[in-house]
Amino acid sequence: MHERRAHGGVAAHAADGHRGCAAARVASPRLDGQNCAALSEPEHRFGFVAVCGRPNVGKSTLLNALVGEPIAVATRHPQTTREAMFGIWNPPGAQAVLVDTPGIHRARSALNRFMVSQAIAASREVDLVLLLADVPVIADLAHAQRWEPGPVATEGLTALAALSRPILLVLTKVDRLREPAHLLPVVARWSALHPFVAVVPTSATTGEGLAALQAEIVGRLPPGPPQFEPDQLSDRPMRWHASELVRAELFEHLGDELPYSCAVVIEAYHEGKQRDRVEATIYVERDSQRPIVIGKGARVVKAISMAARARISALTGRPCDLRVRVDVSADWTKDPERMARLGYAALATDVPIFEEAP
């Protein structure tokens, strides 16, 4: 994992282009220099691809499967991802910036509104939007034929369609289908709602459909040189990933509700020669939540710290010491100023948000 780098790591790929040209000359001695470019490898492609959809449909998991590293936190809990993040993906002949986004949902609190605005704003300027929708768990064909996408999914589609970017529908979690025949009515229902550029059924768990998805994405990227070094995995500094990895462990150790009241701030990240030294604070919303996160004899916070330390080390490839404190920032999920201090900076005001009825 690397700290954020400036755009412009093009040298390696420019060199590859020349090598391709030379190989074509060897294979076909009649080619002159001008024809060489046309007959050598196809032009390199580069573009931005937003990964969108309702919470929990498998956006972060799919991004990780494509990039090949667990850089985006994925859990079984909805609304895990809170901020947009770039994952840099290098399929053959192309580089795509996959933008992981929070799930589009009916937002109520300031934090939820921030999350939805992140998803919509991140999809505005991209070359392609992937709309992910998980296949329904369907009992039989009659059920499949009655099935319709739910209102939150269709509201999300409407908001994304308003951005006028090409949208590719990715049906996720097809490993859960009992019968392949159940897929057809689901595809038909979705296809009636929007002129998707393609519909690709996938499973990040089994790998099914990922090669087809790769071909569909790469074919839609514009020509262009890569903008990131080939070994760069994300646009975020390790400090940001560290806070996400601590947050991932909150989902593992704190039950179903409390992680949504928590924010993690990395107070210090020292890269040492042998090991990294990281200091993190977990902020909760209420005084009563603090002792739960700490646990009896600090057992819970210690377990969180140990597990997060292992995750950080796995990503950096170096040992790390992690110290975790627990503090209170009263009602921070409802207060944009407190949110900004915890790293969730101001909302883009012109982004449409669907409000949940109070």
Ligand X SMILES: Nc1nc2c(ncn2[C@@H]2O[C@H](COP(=O)(O)OP(=O)(O)OP(=O)(O)O)[C@@H](O)[C@H]2O)c(=O)[nH]1
By the criterion CB under 5 A, which residues form the site for Mg ion? 59-60, 80-81
Minimum CB–partner distance for residue 17 and ligand X (Å): 35
Residues 237-266 as x/- pattern, contact with ligand X by CB under 6 A: ------------------------------
Residue whose CB is less far from ligand X, 44 or 236: 236
> From the list 9, 47, 55, 70, which residue makes contact with ligand X (rule: CB under 6 A)?
55
Under rule CB under 6 A, residue 234 binds ligand X: no
CB of 88 to ligand X, least distance (A): 18
Which range binds ligand X by CB under 6 A, 123-131, 161-169, 200-208, 225-233?
Answer: 200-208
Decide which of Mg ion, ligand X, none touches 76; Cβ closer than 5 to 8 Å per partner kind: ligand X
Three state DSSP letters for the chain: CCCCCCCCCCHHHHHHHHHHHHHHHHHCCCCCHHHHHHHCCCCCEEEEEEEEECCCCCHHHHHHHHHCCCCCCCCCCCCCCCCCEEEEECCCCEEEEEEECCCCCCECCHHHHHHHHHHHHHCCCCCEEEEEEECCCCCCHHHHHHCCCCHHHHHHHHHHHCCCCCEEEEEECHHHCCCHHHHHHHHHHHHCCCCCCEEEECCCCCCCCHHHHHHHHHCCCCECCCCCCCCCCECCCHHHHHHHHHHHHHHHHCCCCHHHHCEEEEEEEEECCCCEEEEEEEEECCHHHHHHHHCHHHHHHHHHHHHHHHHHHHHHCCCEEEEEEEEECCCHHHCHHHHHHCCCCCCCCCCCCCECCC
The minimum distance between CB 120 and Mg ion, in angstroms, equals 15
CB of 60 to Mg ion, least distance (A): 3
Closest CB to Mg ion among residues 53, 185: 53
Least separation in angstroms between CB 283 and ligand X: 20
> Rounded to the nearest whole angstrom, what is the least distance from the CB of residue 210 to ligand X in the complex?
10
Site string for ligand X, 57-96 (x = CB under 6 A): xxxxx------------xxx-xxxx---------------
Among 44, 45, 165, 173, the residue binding ligand X under the rule CB under 6 A is 173
78 binds, among ligand X, Mg ion, none (CB under 5 to 8 A by kind): ligand X
Residues contributing to the site for ligand X (CB under 6 A): 55-61, 74-76, 78-81, 102-103, 172-173, 175-176, 203-205
